[in-house]
Chains A and B, each alone.
Chain A
Amino acid sequence: MAEPGNQAFPTALRFRDDPAADEPAVSLDAFLVQEEADSVRIEAGEDVTVLFPHLDRVRLIEVDFPRFRDGRGFSTARMLREAGYAGELKATGDVLVDLIFFMRRCGFDSFAPDRPLDSADAEAALSRWDHVYQPAADGRMPIWKLRHG
């Protein structure tokens, strides 16, 4: 299970061992002109591919979910992982406990929900599925691979 996370977010979940970035994340537009910035925030609907040429200077990417039903952030996260980004990928906003399993699979490794998650429910959600049908960004082996080695 996750470390308790940083104190600013008593209910945040973080699945990384490295120290958290200490600068606040700036907007995508600001990041592209601020060469010293290392943390960036992506709003739903923003084109994450413009960040791809700059990934080597990024330590933290926050992806916002304005409403839990808005699933664009899932694609944003997985595209970042497919582009080779290995830094912290944090889901923020309307992050509900029933989303976090899919978010982990898409490459998110930290969560800062607007409303705190129940830690027992979060643990249950993340440990519930022994198997998965598809490969994604978390390296889990899909069922077809278990079947055929």
Chain B
Amino acid sequence: MYKYDQYDQAMVDTRVEEFRDQVRRRLSGKLDDDQFKPLRLKNGLYLQLHAYMLRVAIPYGTLDSRQMRALAEIARRYDRGYGHFTTRQNIQYNWIKLAEAPDILADLAKVEMHAIQTSGESIRNISSDQYAGAAADELIDPRPWCEMLRQMTNFMPEFSYLPRKFKIAVIASAEDRAALRWHDFALRIVEDAAGEIGFEVYAGGGMGRTPFIAYKIREFLPTSQIFSYLQAVLRVWNRHARRDNIHKQRMKILVHDLGQEEFTRQVEAEFAHFLSLAEDFPQAEYDRVAGYFAPPPFEQRLSDQLDLSDPAFAAWAKQQVIAHQAPGYAIANVSLKPIGGIPGDISADQMDIMADLAKRYSFDELRATHAQNLVLPHVRKADLYAVWQALTAAGLADANLDLVSDIIACPGLDYCSLANARSIPVAQKIAERFADPARQADVGELKIKISGCINACGHHHAGNIGILGVDRKGSESYQLLLGGSGDEDTTQAKIAGPGFDEAGIVDAVERAVEHYRTVRDPGERFIDTYRRVGMDGFKEAVYG
């Protein structure tokens, strides 16, 4: 894992003092609310329905036990004893007092964490593959580039008052576990014919009220030129985006207004200019950062055998455990989706337990996933049983990865001031409807994603089944969408028909699932069946 040096530490410490000063000026009336708002947003502080919400960055979803314990302590000291993992690998606290926010940021800085640019019109925390450094199918570990990008994009002087937010993802596998093409700017690390490592570049993706899947704008970018290239993209957007309508200012709108070809042409022209400034980060800096991500000291000659004689453990291992690149090791997914729970929520005590397990069994590493779950990335297969027992005792051993109850949901109207409808109760009711493990196993992979408004924080556009909460004449209504995907075969879900009330949407999901079970080919996933048979049959089944 990356460790701050004196410079990184000075940057976050200075940021804390800057924000403390800004809060002081706000509380003394020197800054009005309008002036203060972007400053607090750039430090992760939203004003929600009941209190401030603080979103803490977990850079590329990687954290260690010390950091997880610090997150637990913040939950206890400043919140109500729990936190909420988000759809971009961050953690949010929902009950924060403004006056205490600088102290929380100071506590985070002590463990090399921050909330820099986690909200507002800024370049957000870089997201990545939650299995980075462990996945059997990756070309290289993408996290050194994520960390380089973190440093490139924090406090960019030219790009700190952007038209809108800007989200970046980086992966290094053919399989996309980070919803790459739903980002404003995305990089897939690839190798060219000569064996040189570079980036395949995508731009112009995003969800929200106007969803777009990113275009590929470059087949191969030498890694050494990424700072120039990123600045070129940002400059084209910063100069030419609309500034008259906040809903039309995301880069996706400009990219799609100009078209893939013209946008790319402008970026390439600006890129040539930036290259001429010769300001790219040197290879030595990559080497320095990459050194922190060297593989942990895996034991050699471990057995790949797993004792599956305990059926409950076997069921968990079958669903939650993924192949690791090192023999004798496994990736263990930890569900934050207990039946009837709030997707992504975790108590401070559970955070401490996850920290203990990471320290003892996973080379002190944890990951947060965009699907609002956690990962122990490097567990000896021989230790999986002990890990499972500890998870079971902590209420963290649900075996539902990518199943119908592994639902992504935004905080919705229970917390969020933007929401039109509640998301959490819908997620809970769907999970309860499909609670029977045998039924879940029979349905198989099915990604349900729920947003409480068109801003799409719950990724409904990318749901195999998406649910969008809307306000319909003063009451909550839910639209059903089908056929979305955030995987490498990215697709945008389509609205099936008229909306439902809360009970009705749960029934509608069940009818869609039953239709799938009726028409699927053996072994076929929900998304593949939908793609094969199309919307009409599902519509008929749902609306009758």
Chain A contact residues, CB within 8 Å of chain B: 44-45, 68-72, 74-76, 78-79, 82, 96, 98-99, 101-103, 105-106, 118, 121, 124, 128-136, 143-144, 146-148
Contact = CB atoms under 8 A, between A and B. Distances in A.
Interface of B: 5, 7-8, 10-11, 14, 17-18, 21-22, 25, 30, 35, 38-39, 121, 151-152, 154-163, 227, 235, 238-239, 243, 273, 277, 279, 281-282, 284-285, 288
Contact of A118 (B22, B30, B243): B30
Contact of A72 (B11, B121, B238): B238
A69 B162 CA distance: 8
Contact of B39 (A78, A82, A98, A133): A98
Contact of B161 (A68, A105, A143): A68
Nearest to A118: B30
B17 A121 contact: no
A133 B158 contact: no
A125 to B, nearest CB: 8
Given A129-B14, A131-B10, A105 B5 contact: no
B277 A105 contact: no
23 contacts: A69-B121, A70-B161, A71-B158, A72-B238, A74-B160, A75-B235, A75-B239, A102-B158, A118-B30, A121-B21, A121-B30, A129-B14, A133-B11, A133-B152, A133-B154, A134-B152, A134-B279, A143-B11, A143-B151, A144-B281, A147-B7, A147-B288, A148-B288
B16 to A, nearest CB: 11
Given A68-B35, A82-B273, A148 B238 contact: no
A147 B8 CA distance: 11
Contacts of A105: 157-158
B17 A134 contact: no
Nearest to A148: B284
A101 B160 CA distance: 11
A132 to B, nearest CB: 7
B508 to A, nearest CB: 41
A134 B157 contact: yes
B160 A71 contact: yes
Contact of B157 (A72, A106, A147, A148): A106
Given A102-B155, A135-B277, A143-B11, 15 more contacts: A44-B243, A68-B35, A69-B121, A72-B243, A74-B161, A78-B157, A82-B277, A96-B35, A128-B14, A128-B18, A129-B155, A133-B151, A136-B157, A144-B281, A147-B288
- Which one of A71, A105, A132, A148 has the greatest number of beta carbons of chain B within 10 Å? A71
A144 B288 CA distance: 10
Contacts of B161: 68-71, 74, 99, 102
Contact of B17 (A102, A106, A128): A128
B285 A131 contact: no
Nearest to A83: B273
Contacts of A106: 157-158
A143 to B, nearest CB: 4
A-B complex: 8 closest residue pairs judged by Cβ atoms? A71-B161, A105-B157, A102-B157, A143-B7, A144-B285, A135-B279, A74-B158, A148-B284
Contact of A74 (B39, B159, B281): B159
